[in-house]
Structure 1
Amino acid sequence: MTEEKLLMEKTFHETFTGDTGRNLHPIEVLGAAFVEEQKNEPYDLTDIRFAQGEVYFHCKDYEAAIFKWESVQNEREPWAKKNIADAYYELGMLSSAEDVYTAIQTDGVVLTMEVSLQLFSLYIEREKTQEAYRVIEKALGIDPDYPNVSSIARAFYEGQQDWNNAIELAVREALRTKDGKWFSVLEEYAVKGYITSFAPAYFHDLLIASYESDSRQFRGLVAAFWNSYKVEPALHIEWMQTINTIFEYVQIENHESWDDILSLYKESFNGFMESGHLIHDLQPFMPGLVTNWLKVSRAGSSLLAASAVLAWNDVFSYSLEPGVAEEAEALLIESAEDARFEDVLLFLNRIMAWSESNRVPVGYKTKWMSEQLMDYSRNHIVVAGSVSSGKSSFVQSVLGESIGESEGSTVVYTYHDQPVEVSEIHGEGVRRVESIADFEEVMHREAFVEYKIPSDFLKKNSAVLIDVQAGQRHQDDLASFYPVADGLLYVLNAEAPFNAEDRQVLRRLQEIDQPVKINFLLNKMDKVGVHPDDVIESVERKAKEWFPEAEVLPYSSLEAVSIQRTGVEAFMTRHYDVSPAYIKAERGTKLFYLVRKTLKDLYSIRKNKEIALKESIAKNEDILSRLNGFHNHLGDMQGEKIALIKDSFHERKEAVKKEIRTEIPNILHKCSELINEESDYKNIHTELNEAMNTRIQEYLQNDLMPRYLDSLQEWLAASKHELQESQEYLYEMSSTFNGLFGEERVVLQCDDQVLDDWRRDVSRMGTRAQIDKENILLRFKPAQFLLKSAGKLLGVLPQNKTLLYNQYKRYLENEDYGDITESVVTKFFLQFDLFEKSLEQDIRSFYAQPFHQLSLTIKGTEGEIMEDKELLSEIKADPERYFDPITLFEVKLLQYEYMMKASYQPSQKYSR
C-alpha cells in the first residue's frame, strides 16, 4: 500500500505496529516506540506522534489527536494539518476546520483532492453553495479520475437542479472516458427535457463518440435528443442541421433496428411540411433530412422516405446530392408496402383547414367531392348538354322524378330509400331545402342541390347522376365536377347536334388533364323525321372525332320511358359498370387531381383576393367620399327645410298678428255704439268691459281662428310636401348607395310621426282660442277714474247723462287700446309661439334617423377600408407566408402520388 493511501485512510500507524504488534493495542505499541526513539541521539518523534494522532482519531479522542498532529513539522505536516481539520470537522467545529483546510499548502494531487472533497462536504453542510461549486469544480479540474469525484459532482448538480452543469459534466466525462453510463445519464437528461438550454451542435462530438462506442446506445441517445428538441420549432431545425452532419458518418446495418429513428424522420418531415415553416427556413436542412431518412430506411420501411426524396427533388431540383433520387427510385420499386387513399383524404382536409385559417376557404364543395370519391360502391355519371339538348328532361324521365327546370344550377341525384330529401350544398356546408320555393331560390344561387330519391334506376345501376348545365356561362361548373366523374354522358339535340355551344364545351373537356369516359346521348330523335339512321351514323362519326372511344345512344322523348330506360341501363352497364378494384384505382387518380386542382385554386384565390381587396378599397373609398358629400348635403337640405317651414309658419302667424293689431282697436272703438243717454252710468264701465271682451272673443273664435286654422292647414300640407319630397329623395339615395354597395345596407327612413304630431298640435291649438278677459275699462287710469267717478256722482241726474254719454263715447272712440291689443296678441299666440320654437327641433328629429344611419354607414365603410388595407398590407408584406405552405403541400402531394404508384403500379418507373 502506498504511503499516500495510508495517509489518506489514516492508517500510517500500521507502519509501526506491523505484524509484531498484532496482539498489542496500537497505543501500547506506539508508546513503546516513543520510549525507544528517545534513546537515540538525536531522536525524531514526529512520525510516532503523527501515528499516535491517527490512533487517537480512530478512538474518537479528537483533542488528543489534534495535540499530537500539531507537533508534526516534517514532510507530513500538510497531512497533519488536514487531519487536524478532519478532527475539528468531527467535533463540529466547522469554522475552525474550514480555516485549517484552506490554509494547507501542498503540491500533492492526492492531498489536494482529499482536502477539496472534505471542504466540499463542509460547504454543503454549512450551506455555502457558491464555495461548494468552486471547490468541486477545482477538484474536477485537477483530477476528474479521482475516485468518486465525478459522481459526487453529478449528485451535487442534480441536487441543486443545476442541469446545465450536470449536462456539461456528463458530456465531458462521456467524451473523456467513453463510459456507457455517462451516455445513459445524458439520455435520461434528454428524456426529461433538460438538454434544450443547449444548442444541438453542442452535442455533435458526443453523438459521434456514442456511435463509435455503441450503435445501439447511439440510437437511443439520438431518439431521446430528437424527442426533446422537436418541441421547439427553432431548436428542431437546429437539431436537424446537427443530425444531418452526424449521419454523414453513420453506416446502416440491415440487422439493426432503426424503427424509432424512422418514425422520428417521418414525424419531422410531416411536421415541417405542415407547420407553416417558410421554404427558406427548410432548404438548408431538408435535403439532408430526406437523404438521411432514405439512408436509415434501408434497414426498414423505405416507401415513405423514398417518396419524400423524389417529391422534394421534383419541386426543389438540384437540392439533393447526385444519385440520391436514383437510389430512392430503386427502393420505391422494391417496396412491398401499401399506401392508403384515406391518408390523401386527410391531407386534403388539412389543406382545407389551412385555407380556412388563412381566410381563403376553398369551399365545402371540395370536401363533398372528396367524400364522393371515397364511396367506391357507386358510379358518378355527369350528364351535360347545351340548353337546347333537353338534358334535364331526359334525366328526370329515366329517374321517374320531376322537379321542374334546373337549368340554372347543378343537381345531384342519389339513391335514398326514404322519402325525397333535398339539400343545398354551398360554400359553407349543407342546408336542407324544405319547400319548393326554397328549391327554386337555390336554383338561382351559386350552389348545387343534392336530390335524394327512391329511384329504382339509381339503385339498380349503383349510380349517382350529376345533372350539370354545360352552356357557355356554366363551363366552369362542368369542369369543377370533372374530378368526381367516373363517366360523362353528353346530351346532344338530334335536330342540331354539335352546334357551336356543343363544340365549345367539348373543346373545354379535351383541355382538362383528367381522363373520363365520355359517351353521347342523341336526344329528341322523334323530331329528326326521315332517315334517322343517317343522323345517328353522322353523329357517331363526329363523336369519335372528338373522343375516339365514345359511343352514341339514340333517345326519343315520344317512346315509352320504361322501354328506353332499359336501353339506357344497358348502355350504362356496358360503358360505366366496372369492378370496385378498378374504381378504387381510378378514384385515386381523381382524388390526386382534386387535391392538385385545390392547390391551383389556392394560388388563384389569393391573387384574386388581392385584386378584390384593391377593388373593394377603391370602391369603398369612392362610396365613402359620396357618403361624406351626401352627409353634408343632407345637412344643407335639413337647414333649408327648417328655414322654409319655419319662415312659412312665421309669415302666416305674423300676418294674423298684424290683422289682430288692426282689428282689435276697431272692435273696441265700435263698442261706443253700445252706450246711449239712457245707459246706467253708475255701472257702465263694468258692462262695457264685459261687452268689449265678448266682442274680442267672438272675433277670435268665430272669425279669426277658422281662417287661421285654414292657413295652418295649408302650411301643414306644404310642409308635408316638403318633407315627403325629402323622404323620396332619401329613398332614391338609399337605392343608389345600396346599388354601389351591392347589398341592402342603407335605409334612410325619416320620422313621419313629426307630421302627425303637428296635425294634432294644430288641431289642439284651434280649440283653445278662448283667452282670459282683458281689463279694458277697469284699470286705474286717470281718464277712466274720472269717468267712473263722474258716472257714480252724476249718473243719477238726467240732465247729466248727456254729458256722460258724450264723454264715454268720445273716450271709447279715441282711446288707443294698444296695450290691450298686445295683451290679446300675447295670450292668443302663446301656444303658437311655443309651437314655432319647437319646429326646428321637430324637423331635426324628422331627419335624425337618416343622419344616424349615414353616420353608421360612414363609420362601417371606414372600418371596412381600414380592415381591407391592413389585410392587403399583410398580403403584400409577407407573401411567402401564404405561397410557401402551398408549395410544401405540393411536395406532400407528390409524395403521396409516388407512394400510390408504388402500391398500385409497382413496375412503373418514377419520373415526372
Structure 2
Amino acid sequence: MTLEMQLIQKKYFESLIIDRANQAPVQFLGHLYMDEQRSKETDLSYIRFSQGEVYFHNKDYEAAIFKWEKIHNELELWAKKNMADAYYELGLLSTAVDLYKSISSESLTLDTEVALQLFSIYNEQADLDFAAEVIKRAVYLNPDYPNVTKIARAFFENYRDWSSAIELAVNEAIRTEYLEWFDILINYVDEGFTQQIPPDYFSELLEVLYRVNPVRFEQLVVSFWNSYEGTEFYFSWISEIDRLFLSLELDPSATWPNVSAKYQETYFELVSGKYYINEISDIIPNLLTNWLILSDPVHSLFAATSVLAWNDIFEESFNATITEKAEQVLYDSKKDIANIERSLALFEEIVKWARDNEIEVDERLKWVVEKLSNPQKIRLLVAGMTGNGKSTFINSLLGGNIVAAPSSTVVLYSNGEEIQIDEITETTTREVPSLIDFAEWKEEETNNQQTSLIHFKLPSKFLIENQLTLMDIPDFDRSSYEAIKNNKNEELKFVHLVDGLLFVLTATTLFTDRERDLLLKIQELVPNLPIHFLLKTDAIYHEQEVTQMVEEIRVRISDQFPKAKIFPYSKHNKSSKQVKDLSEFIRVALNQNVRPEKRNQKLLFYIREALTYLLKRRVEVENEIVEEIIWKEDIVSKLNGANLQLSDLEKEKIKVIQNTYHTIKEDIKHDLKTTIPKLLRDCSALIKENSDFRKIHIELNHEMNERVQNYIQHTILPRFSKAIQGWIDMANEEFYQSQDYLEEMSESFNKMYGEQRLKLNCDFKVLEDWGRDASRLANGVQLENMNILNRQTPSQLVLKSAGKLFGTLRPNKTMLCNMYKKFIENGEYEKIAATISKQFILQFELFEKGLERDITMFYSEPFNVLQEVVEEEQQDIQDKKDALQQLKANPEKYLDPITLFNVRLRQYEWIQKETTHNPSFA
C-alpha cells in the first residue's frame, strides 16, 4: 500500500508495526513512544500520528485529536485533516469545516480528500451551492481521483443541476474519450436537458467523438438535432453542424443514413413556407452542400435535386463543383419513379396555404388536378380547323347531336348514368341546363373573356368501353395561329390535361401549311403531346383512294410528325368494325402517354400554373383592395349625403305636419273665443218678466254652461274630428311620400351593392297612435261648469240684491227684466271665453307638443340603418387599409412562401426531367 493510501485510510500506523502484527497496536505504540522518548534525538510526531489513527479507528476521537494537535512535521497537514475528520465524527461540523478550510497543501491527494470531506458536510447540511462549488473544484483539481467524477455526477443528477452535469460529462468525454461519458451525454440530450445551451458549446466534443467513434458521433448528432428542433437555437444548431461537417475530414466510403434523413427532414421543413427567405437564405447552401456530400443512396436523389432546384431559383448559391456533383449524383442515383402522390400533396399544400391567406386557387386548376389524380381515364383532345367536321365526328362517337364548344370554352365529355352539365369557372362551379343555354350566357357575358370548363356527363357506350374522356375546344381559324403564337389562347392551358391530340383532316385539303404551322406551335407550347390525325371523308371513296390519301398525308407530315398515326374515318361507314378499329387506334396511339411519369408531368405543369395564378392574384388583390376602398369611401360619402337628405326631409315633414295641426288648433281656438261670448249674450233672451229674479242668475249660469257644452260637443268637436282626420290623411300622404323616397334611395344603394343591403322602413304605427289619440280627444273632452254669473262683481251684487228685493213685486219685474237683459247683452265674456278655450285646447296642445317626437320616431329606423351601414363601411374601410398596409409593408409574407413552393416544384421537375429522359425508366 502506498504512503498516500495509508494516509487516506488512516493506516500509517501499520508501517510502524510491520513485525508486530500479533501485538495490540495501542500497546505496541505506547511502548514505542516510551522507548523513543528516552532517545536523545527523538521525534515523536510519527508515533503520535500513528496513535491518533489507532484512537480514531477505536472511536476515541478526543484522544486522536489530542495526539494530532502535537504533529509539526511533514504530516502536520494530514494531521489537521484527520483532526477535522474526528470533529466531523463528533458532530462538531463547524469546527471540522474551519479546519478543512485552513489546510493549504501542495499535495493533490490531500486537497482532493479535503474537498470530498467538505462536500460531504455541505451536502449533509443541504448547502447545495457550497457543495457544488467544492465538488467542481475537486473534479477540476483531480478528475482521475477514484470516484470523484462519479460522486459529482450523482450529486448533480440528484439535485437536477443539469447544467453542471452536462458540463461534467462534456469535459470528461473530451478529456478521457471514454464512450461511457458520450453515452451519458446522449441521454441528457435525449431528455432535453441541453436545449438551452448554445450549440457551439459542443463543437469540440463532437470533433473528438467523430475521431473516437463515428457511429456514436452520428447518434449524438441526431440526438442534438431532434433536441434543438423548434427551439431558439435551432438555426444556430444547423449552422454549427454544417460548419463542423465542412471542417471534418470525412471518410468518402462512410454512410450517414440517419444524418442524411435529418438533413432531408430539415430542408423540407425550412422550405415549407414557415420561414421567410431572409431567415434561411444563409443556411440553405451549406445545409444542401453537406446533405449532398453525406447523403446515402436512399436520400441522394432528393439531395441532388434540392441543390439544383435551389440554385435555379437563387443563382450562384453554390460553386460549380457542387452543382456538377449534384448533376452527377442525379444521374447515378437510384431512379425515383414519378411519385404522383408527392405532387398532389404539394398542390394540396398550396391550396391550403392560399385559403389560409384568404385567396382561393383557380377552381379550374383544382378541378383539372382532381381529374389527373384518376389514373383510369384516357383523355383525348379532338381538334380541327373550322369546317373540317370535327363536331360531326364527336357527335357520331357520342351518339347524339351535341352543340359545338362555344367560344372561350373547353368541353370534356365523359360517361355518366344520366346527362349532367357543369361549368367550372375561375371562382365557382354551377350546373348548366344545356350547351345552348350556356352559349347564350357566354354571349351575354361581354366582359368575361376567361375560358370556362364544361364537364358534360352522358351515357356513352364508346366512352365507357374505352375508358375515355373526350375534350373539345373551339375550332381553329385564321386568327388562331396568331392567338396561340402570342400566348392569348387560354384554352391551350387545359390541353396539358389530355393524353393525346387527334387532329381532324378533310379529304379535300388533306394537310395544309396553316394546319402544320398551327400544330407545330401547339407542340411547342405543349411538349411531348402525341399528335395523330383522323382523315374524315364525307364523300364515298374506294378503299384504294383512301389509302392513297393516307399515304399523301403521311408524306406531308413525316418531317414534323414522324410518329403520328393516321386513321381514315367515313361517316358513311356504319359498321361496328370502324368503331372497333378506332378504339384500337386510340389505345395504341395513347398507351405510352398514360404512364405515371406522364401524368406527373401534367400535374407539375398545373402546380406551376397555380403558383403563377397566385402571384398574379397578389397584384390583383392589392388592386382590388384599393378599388374597394375607393368604392366604399364613395359609398360612405353617398350614405352620409343620404343621411343629410333624410334629415332635411324629416325637418320638412315636421314643419308641414306641425303647421297644419297648429292651424287647425288655432282655428278652433279662434272660434271658441269669438263664438262663446255671443252664445252667452244670446242668453239674454231667456229673461222674461215672469222669471224668478231671485234665482235668475243661477238659471242663467246653468243655461250658459249648457250652451257652451252643447256648442263644443255638437259643433266644435265634430269640426275638430273632421279636421284632424283630414290632417291624419295629409300626414299619411306625406309619410308615404317619404317612404317612397326612401325605397328609391334603398333601391339605388342596393343596386350599387348588388344585394339587399339597405331596407329603410319607416314606422307607420305613429299614424295608428295619432288616430287613436284623436278619437280619444274628440270623444272625451269634458269641461267643468264655469261660474259665469255668480261671480262677485259689483254689478252682479246689485242685480242679485235687486232680484231678492223686488223679485216679488210685479211693477218692478219689468225694470229688473230690462236691467238683466241689458246686463247680459253688455257683459264682457272674453275672459270667460279665453278660460274655456284654454281648458278645451289644453289636451290638444299636449298632443301637439308630442308631434315632433312622434315624427322623429317615424324616421328613426332609416336613420339607424344608415348610421349602422356607415359605421360598418367605415370599419371595413379601416380594415382594408390595414390589410393593404400589411401587404405593402410585408410583401415577403405572401411572396416568400410562393417562392419556396416554386423551389420544391423545381425539385420535382428535376426528378421528372430525369425520369422522362432516362431510358431506365421505360
What TM-score do the two structures reach when normalised by structure 1? Answer: 0.85
2:10 is equivalent to residue 6 of structure 1: no
Aligned counterpart, 1:529: none
Deviation at 1:77, TM superposition (A): 0.7
2:907 to 874, 879, 895: 895
Whole-angstrom CA distance in 1 between matches of 2:652 and 2:17: 130
For these two proteins, the number of residue pairs brought into alignment is 883
81-90 vs 392-401, greater mean Cα deviation: 392-401
Measured at CA, do residues 385 and 874 of structure 1 come closer, stay the same or move farther in structure 2, by a change above 3 Å? farther
Deviation at 1:841, TM superposition (A): 0.8
Aligned counterpart, 2:465: 460
Counterpart code for 1:355:
A
Deviation at 1:235, TM superposition (A): 1.7
Output one character per residue of 1:159-195: Cα deviation in whole Å (capped at 9) or x when no partner: 2212222222222222222222222222111111111
Aligned counterpart, 1:243: 241
Output one character per residue of 1:738-773: Cα deviation in whole Å (capped at 9) or x when no partner: 344443322222222223333443344334466454
Counterpart code for 1:842:
D
Whole-angstrom CA distance in 2 between matches of 1:735 and 1:769: 46
Measured at CA, do residues 421 and 220 of structure 1 come closer, stay the same or move farther in structure 2, by a change above 3 Å? same
574-583 vs 663-672, greater mean Cα deviation: 574-583
2:837 to 825, 840, 859: 825
Aligned counterpart, 1:230: 229
Counterpart code for 1:459:
I
Whole-angstrom CA distance in 1 between matches of 2:386 and 2:764: 51
Output one character per residue of 1:302-321: Cα deviation in whole Å (capped at 9) or x when no partner: 11111111111111111112
131-140 vs 268-277, greater mean Cα deviation: 131-140
Deviation at 1:228, TM superposition (A): 0.7
Counterpart code for 1:38:
Q
Measured at CA, do residues 723 and 649 of structure 1 come closer, stay the same or move farther in structure 2, by a change above 3 Å? same
Aligned counterpart, 2:357: 358
Aligned counterpart, 2:44: 45
Q: Please say if residues 190 and 223 of structure 2, whose CA atoms lie closer than 8 Å, have aligned partners that are also in contact.
A: yes
Counterpart code for 2:369:
S
Aligned counterpart, 2:267: 269
Whole-angstrom CA distance in 1 between matches of 2:821 and 2:390: 108
2:644 is equivalent to residue 632 of structure 1: yes
Q: Please say if residues 306 and 328 of structure 1, whose CA atoms lie closer than 8 Å, have aligned partners that are also in contact.
A: yes
Q: Please say if residues 383 and 466 of structure 1, whose CA atoms lie closer than 8 Å, have aligned partners that are also in contact.
A: yes
- Which secondary structure does the structure 1 equivalent of 2:180 belong to? helix
- Which secondary structure does the structure 1 equivalent of 2:271 belong to? helix
2:74 is equivalent to residue 75 of structure 1: yes
Measured at CA, do residues 275 and 65 of structure 1 come closer, stay the same or move farther in structure 2, by a change above 3 Å? farther
Aligned counterpart, 2:320: 322
Whole-angstrom CA distance in 1 between matches of 2:187 and 2:82: 39
Deviation at 1:227, TM superposition (A): 0.8
Whole-angstrom CA distance in 2 between matches of 1:490 and 1:710: 88
Aligned counterpart, 2:192: 193
Counterpart code for 2:663:
E
Q: Please say if residues 503 and 531 of structure 2, whose CA atoms lie closer than 8 Å, have aligned partners that are also in contact.
A: yes
Q: Please say if residues 276 and 881 of structure 1, whose CA atoms lie closer than 8 Å, have aligned partners that are also in contact.
A: no
183-192 vs 329-338, greater mean Cα deviation: 329-338
Aligned counterpart, 2:512: none
Whole-angstrom CA distance in 1 between matches of 2:679 and 2:386: 89
Whole-angstrom CA distance in 1 between matches of 2:72 and 2:216: 54
Deviation at 1:259, TM superposition (A): 1.8
2:658 is equivalent to residue 646 of structure 1: yes
Output one character per residue of 1:373-395: Cα deviation in whole Å (capped at 9) or x when no partner: 11011234578999999999998
Measured at CA, do residues 734 and 888 of structure 1 come closer, stay the same or move farther in structure 2, by a change above 3 Å? same
Deviation at 1:635, TM superposition (A): 2.3
Whole-angstrom CA distance in 2 between matches of 1:356 and 1:826: 74
Measured at CA, do residues 363 and 25 of structure 1 come closer, stay the same or move farther in structure 2, by a change above 3 Å? farther
1:333 to 331, 334, 346: 331
Whole-angstrom CA distance in 2 between matches of 1:618 and 1:564: 66
Measured at CA, do residues 348 and 684 of structure 1 come closer, stay the same or move farther in structure 2, by a change above 3 Å? same
Measured at CA, do residues 668 and 857 of structure 1 come closer, stay the same or move farther in structure 2, by a change above 3 Å? same
Whole-angstrom CA distance in 2 between matches of 1:751 and 1:391: 65
Deviation at 1:287, TM superposition (A): 0.8
Measured at CA, do residues 404 and 321 of structure 1 come closer, stay the same or move farther in structure 2, by a change above 3 Å? closer
Aligned counterpart, 2:815: 803
- Which secondary structure does the structure 2 equivalent of 1:195 belong to? coil
Deviation at 1:490, TM superposition (A): 9.3
Q: Please say if residues 52 and 65 of structure 2, whose CA atoms lie closer than 8 Å, have aligned partners that are also in contact.
A: yes
Aligned counterpart, 1:615: 627
Deviation at 1:572, TM superposition (A): 7.1
Whole-angstrom CA distance in 1 between matches of 2:793 and 2:879: 80
Measured at CA, do residues 830 and 488 of structure 1 come closer, stay the same or move farther in structure 2, by a change above 3 Å? farther
Aligned counterpart, 1:530: none
1:835 to 842, 847, 851: 847
Q: Please say if residues 377 and 580 of structure 1, whose CA atoms lie closer than 8 Å, have aligned partners that are also in contact.
A: no
Q: Please say if residues 468 and 477 of structure 1, whose CA atoms lie closer than 8 Å, have aligned partners that are also in contact.
A: no
2:750 to 713, 738, 756: 738
Output one character per residue of 1:624-675: Cα deviation in whole Å (capped at 9) or x when no partner: 2332333233323322321222122112221222122112222222232333
1:751 to 755, 763, 772: 763
Measured at CA, do residues 464 and 767 of structure 1 come closer, stay the same or move farther in structure 2, by a change above 3 Å? farther
- Which secondary structure does the structure 2 equivalent of 1:23 belong to? coil
Deviation at 1:861, TM superposition (A): 0.9
What TM-score do the two structures reach when normalised by structure 2? Answer: 0.84
1:695 to 688, 707, 713: 707
Aligned counterpart, 1:106: 105
Output one character per residue of 1:235-293: Cα deviation in whole Å (capped at 9) or x when no partner: 22111111111112445557645221121111101110114212122121211111111
Whole-angstrom CA distance in 2 between matches of 1:786 and 1:256: 145
Q: How does 1:463-478 map to 2 (within 5 A)?
A: 463-464=468-469, 478=491
Q: Please say if residues 414 and 452 of structure 1, whose CA atoms lie closer than 8 Å, have aligned partners that are also in contact.
A: yes
2:684 to 672, 695, 702: 672
645-654 vs 731-740, greater mean Cα deviation: 731-740
Q: Please say if residues 421 and 454 of structure 2, whose CA atoms lie closer than 8 Å, have aligned partners that are also in contact.
A: yes
Which runs of 5 or more residues in structure 1 are unaligned?
495-501, 527-532
Whole-angstrom CA distance in 1 between matches of 2:156 and 2:264: 36
Q: Please say if residues 252 and 299 of structure 1, whose CA atoms lie closer than 8 Å, have aligned partners that are also in contact.
A: no
Output one character per residue of 1:817-861: Cα deviation in whole Å (capped at 9) or x when no partner: 123212332343233222211110111011101110111111101
Measured at CA, do residues 401 and 280 of structure 1 come closer, stay the same or move farther in structure 2, by a change above 3 Å? same
Measured at CA, do residues 697 and 596 of structure 1 come closer, stay the same or move farther in structure 2, by a change above 3 Å? same
34-43 vs 401-410, greater mean Cα deviation: 401-410
Counterpart code for 1:824:
I
Aligned counterpart, 1:497: none
Measured at CA, do residues 764 and 422 of structure 1 come closer, stay the same or move farther in structure 2, by a change above 3 Å? farther
Output one character per residue of 1:434-480: Cα deviation in whole Å (capped at 9) or x when no partner: 999x9999999999776665554542342345677899999887466
Counterpart code for 1:87:
A
Aligned counterpart, 1:65: 64
Deviation at 1:491, TM superposition (A): 10
Q: How does 1:464-503 map to 2 (within 5 A)?
A: 464=469, 478=491, 481-486=494-499
Aligned counterpart, 2:542: none
Counterpart code for 1:843:
I
Aligned counterpart, 1:499: none
